[in-house]
Structures are given as structure tokens and as C-alpha cells.
Structure 1
């Protein structure tokens, strides 16, 4: 069973049809799903999976309990580093899901640095990620860091700066190699 990391931007409250279709195919193929607990795309994906009564789902969270676990699935806490807040508090759980995934499906609004970094984490380990870019109305598969750079090239300079400010040293090193 392949493990699929599902995620996306917190500002997305309606999944695009291609993402819904991909999730339907994931369910039909009985792949395992790794998903976060954030509002927005994570919760929308959870709602879709719960509607299917799908069982092969793990919800990763940074807090003591998941913020969203709409299917009452197994929950996996990944505590943040001491004193971490905001993005830093959730980055560890996102990187853990990427580490465990064979593939990814990200719904990106074209500006979320967190979603962009999730795609990078998957690219760094060679796990292909389908990116549904709602800003540009297109889908593309990111297979490596060169593909990821091409994806980021279409984002504005503010987005690129936000992504760079949140990258780990390992992620920066992978892009220099």
C-alpha cells in the first residue's frame, strides 16, 4: 500500500475538481493517507475522505489533540520544538508526513509558503507530488528539486522570500547541490 501525503493551503475551503478526482482514485486504490489537522485544505480533504467512510487515514498534529479529525482516524502527535510557534510549531509534523510518504497531493493557492515547503520536502526524497495550483488553474507533478524550482519561479518575490525564510538548513543545502 502506497502512502500519500495530502495537504494544502489553509486559505482553500473548496477543493478543485481535479483534486477531488485524485482523492477518489486514492480511495479506490486503497492507498494509505497521511493528512494534517489544519483548517482549510487539510480539513476539506478530511471531509471528503470521511464522506467515503475511508479507513486508511492517519491524522498528524502538533498540539495535544488534532484540531480536525473528521473521520475519527488514528492520530499521530509530532510535538514541536520547545518554544516553537506558528509555522515552526507545525513544520515538524509536515516534514514527518513527507518523510513517510511515497507520493504527495498538494492543493496550493500559489502563495502558501508552508504548502510549497511540503512539496520541496517530497521532492528532496524523490517522492513525486501532484500540485494542484489554484492560482494558475493547472496541475503539475513535481518529481525533484529542479521541478520545485520551476514551480516556485511562478510565485511572486514575496512568496519566494517567505519560503526561503522558513526553509531548514537541509532544505537549503539540497537546493545548492
Structure 2
């Protein structure tokens, strides 16, 4: 039986109709629901599942007791490090739910890093997640790591900082590509030493030529050559983008967002300028 991890922000106390519709789909599909015990979205989800008499629910709690279990459902008590306090104490149950679930539905207040971090945990595990932004009344679907990269690019610095402070290094960084890569892995080999051996002048000229051509594919290829020459790991650190996502975006078949292009150009010391085209 498939399992869905439903969670959300403590500042969301009422479920929008769009979220209720998704929970109705979960019920109709007979999926197992795992949910936390916090006030806010967790409690609101529990309340709705009680009202709709849904039985297949497990409540996860950090420590010995649950704060909320409105349906008297089975409980999973997750042991925590004795030194863990605050966010890290309650994050223990979230990590386990993300591991157990096949996909996730997160109900977001538009700013809570804890809720967004659960999306990251699911994405890192190769699982699909939906993030419903309550203030914007908009759902964002995450299927691959690149979807997370684009979401992070569009977020503000406060959100990125909050995520980085809460995430473990393993959660924050994409998985390293094995020395013996899966044959189904279509990503280019992430080895910076494979970059073309070109001088700064040659790289700059190639970039300008690509931009002048107006060929999007040529521009991405030239930018990828520059990024690999500089070291993709360093570019990832400078831009705050995931290394795996950069390899994908700047590959021969990549289609990066314009914001990603600007971030990489800035990281390599280039800037865009315009001139009036000849008639």
C-alpha cells in the first residue's frame, strides 16, 4: 500500500478547499496517511480526516508523547538525540516520515523553512512532492531535483538561510555521482577535469559569439563550458544552486531558467550588456 506524508506549517490552522480536495483523492485511493502531531496544519489535517472518518492514519511524534492525535490512530514514537532541542527535536519524526512515504503533500504558509525542508527530504529520496502555498493558493509539484533548484532560486534569502540552518549536510547537498554510474543516468559525468582546456579569452569569446547568435542551445553549451572550466562545485557554492541541478541545466539538453543563467554568469565574472542591432 502506498503511503503519503502530509505535513505543513504551524501557522496554517484551516485547510483550503484545494487541499481538502487532494485529501479526498488520497482517501478515495485508499492510501496510508502519515502525519505529525503539531498544532497548525498537522492538527487541521487530523481534524479533517476525523470528520471524514478515515481510518488508515498513523501519527508520528518525536519523543514519548504526542501533542495531538485527534483520531486515536496508531502512533509512532521516534527516539531523538538527548541533546536535540527545538526544531531538531521535532525534525526527527519528519525525517522518518519522509523515508517511509512514497510521496508527500505539504501545506505551506509561504515562508516556513521547516515545511519546505520536508519537500527537500522527499526530493532527495527521489520521491514526488506537492507544496501547496496557502497565501498564494497555488500548488507546486516537485518530481526531480531540478524542480527544487528552481523553487529555491525563486525564494528569498531569508528562506534559503533558514533552510540551510536546519538541513543536515546530507539533506542539503545532492548525492554524489558514483564512480560506477548507473547506466540509466543521463547526466554528464560530473568531473570538472573533463572540461575543455580553453583560455579565459577563448571562453569569453565563445560566450559572446553564442549570445550574438541568439541560439539558446549554443548559449547554454558555452555557459556550461565556462562553468566546468571554473569548477562546477565552486559555481554551485557561489550561486547557492545544487551541483546536480547545474549539471543538468547546463548539459547539452538543458533548459535553464533565465535566473539560473544570470547567477552563473555573475559567478564566473561575466555580465550581460546590450547593443542596438543593425537594421
Aligned counterpart, 2:13: 13
Inter-partner Cα distance in structure 1 for 2:137 and 2:51: 25
Aligned counterpart, 2:86: 86
Report the number of matched residues. 177
Query: TM-score, normalising length from structure 1?
Result: 0.95
Tell whether the 8 Å contact from 1:110 to 1:155 is kept in structure 2 after alignment.
no
Aligned counterpart, 2:53: 53
> Unaligned 5+ residue runs, structure 1?
none
Aligned counterpart, 2:232: none
Q: 1:154 to 1:135 in 2, by over 3 A?
A: farther
Higher-helix-fraction structure? 2
> Which stretch shows the higher mean deviation, 81-90 or 32-41?
81-90
> Which stretch shows the higher mean deviation, 120-129 or 151-160?
151-160
Determine if the alignment matches structure 1 residue 117 to structure 2 residue 97.
Answer: no
Determine if the alignment matches structure 1 residue 97 to structure 2 residue 108.
Answer: no
Inter-partner Cα distance in structure 1 for 2:118 and 2:93: 10
Tell whether the 8 Å contact from 1:34 to 1:58 is kept in structure 2 after alignment.
yes
Larger Rg: 2
Query: CA RMSD, aligned part only?
Result: 1.2
Aligned counterpart, 1:3: 3
> Which stretch shows the higher mean deviation, 140-149 or 63-72?
140-149
Query: TM-score, normalising length from structure 2?
Result: 0.61
Q: Secondary structure, in 3 states, of the residue corresponding to 1:23?
A: helix
> Unaligned 5+ residue runs, structure 2?
175-241, 245-279
> Which stretch shows the higher mean deviation, 54-63 or 133-142?
133-142
> Which stretch shows the higher mean deviation, 69-78 or 125-134?
125-134
- Bigger RCO of structures 1 and 2 (CA < 8 A, at least 6 apart): 1
Q: Secondary structure, in 3 states, of the residue corresponding to 1:53?
A: coil
Deviations 1:5-60 (A, max 9, x none): 00001100111111110001101111000100010000000000111111110100
Aligned counterpart, 1:153: 153
CA apart distance, 1:127: 1.1
Q: Secondary structure, in 3 states, of the residue corresponding to 2:130?
A: strand
Higher-strand-fraction structure? 1
Inter-partner Cα distance in structure 1 for 2:243 and 2:15: 34
Inter-partner Cα distance in structure 2 for 1:102 and 1:144: 14
Inter-partner Cα distance in structure 2 for 1:132 and 1:14: 13
